[in-house]
Amino acid sequence: MINSIKLLIAVFASYFPTVAISGYFTAWVAKKLGDATAEEQGFLTLNPLEHTRLFGLGILLVSVVTRFPFIAAFGRQVPIDEHRMYGNFKKIKYLIALWARPFANLWLSLLAIFVWVIFWKTIGFPYQISQHYPMLVDAMQLLYVIFRQINIISLMLELVFGLVVFIMSFIIPELSEESFFVIFVIQIYLLLLVWEFLAPHISHGVRMVEFLFSYIIS
């Protein structure tokens, strides 16, 4: 019971800043490219409640309760109107805006790994408290792992999602929010099917990044 509560706390503590930062960054990129639709609808904010989608929270809880091999979550879809973007190459700018969210997930993942490596390598604080407060160290490690996984999974899903939406924009000018949900759920199902193949490569990639940061800091 206690472990489940700690897991839920770590999941929500990771979910809300992730959707807030990635959603804000998407709205900011779209505005810089000329489309102020997201700003006008209140997405240019770091308030996590503005970026939280109940359906996404539902997927998050299902992935935790049913013990998915990975934790899947997503926030509200940030509206992007390619027709309001500046100048030429609007389709390319549209793709850039669609890929702003996975780009934010990438940097959040790297930041989490970097901070964790610095924490253990240079501060030395966890070593001093690990003998007296092992539960605190375990909770910190759980938060790091969950935050990192949510962003890595979101990176993978949003990268493919953005590409699918971009391709479909040539066929269907405007997709409904229900279409976005269907696309995302299908992607989660497909990711489940190939997870056993992807998981070792993701773990290997994380270890390589951790080693690289550790080498740079030393």
d(CA 152, CA 155): 5
Is residue 121 within 8 A of residue 214, CB to CB? The reply is yes
pLDDT band at 174 (very low <50, low <70, confident <90, very high): confident
Which pLDDT does position 170 carry in this prediction? 86
Q: Among the listed ranges 9-13, 57-61, 88-92, 200-204, which one has the minimum average pLDDT value?
A: 57-61
More confident residue, 33 or 67: 33
Nearest Cα neighbor of 183 from 93, 98, 68, 94 is: 98
Which pLDDT does position 2 carry in this prediction? 64
d(CA 23, CA 92): 20
d(CA 111, CA 184): 25
Biggest alpha carbon–alpha carbon distance for the chain:
61
Number of structural domains the chain divides into: 1
58-73 average pLDDT score: 80
pLDDT band at 39 (very low <50, low <70, confident <90, very high): very high
Give pLDDT tens digits for 76-109: 889 999 889 988 889 999 999 999 999 999 999 9
pTM of the model: 0.90
Is the per-residue pLDDT at 131 higher than 70?
Answer: no
Give pLDDT tens digits for 133-163: 667 677 788 899 999 999 999 999 999 999 9
pLDDT band at 205 (very low <50, low <70, confident <90, very high): very high
More confident residue, 160 or 131: 160
Is the per-residue pLDDT at 125 higher than 60?
Answer: no
Which pLDDT does position 93 carry in this prediction? 95
Nearest Cα neighbor of 20 from 112, 113, 109, 101 is: 101
Lookup: tokens for 163: 């590409």
Q: Which residue has the tokens 């934010």?
A: 104
- SS3 sequence, 65-117? HCCCCCCCCCCCCCCCCHHHCCCCCHHHHHHHHHCHHHHHHHHHHHHHHHHHH
In whole angstroms, how far apart are CA 202 and each of 95, 148, 152, 197, 212? 25, 11, 9, 9, 15
Buried b (16+ CB within 10 A) or exposed e, 105-137: bbbbbeebbbebbeebeeeeeeeeeeeeeeeeb
Which pLDDT does position 104 carry in this prediction? 97
pLDDT band at 5 (very low <50, low <70, confident <90, very high): confident
Domain boundaries, position 99: 2-217
More confident residue, 65 or 210: 210
110-117 average pLDDT score: 93
107-134 average pLDDT score: 76
183-212 average pLDDT score: 90
More confident residue, 171 or 158: 158
CA 216 distance to own-chain centroid: 25
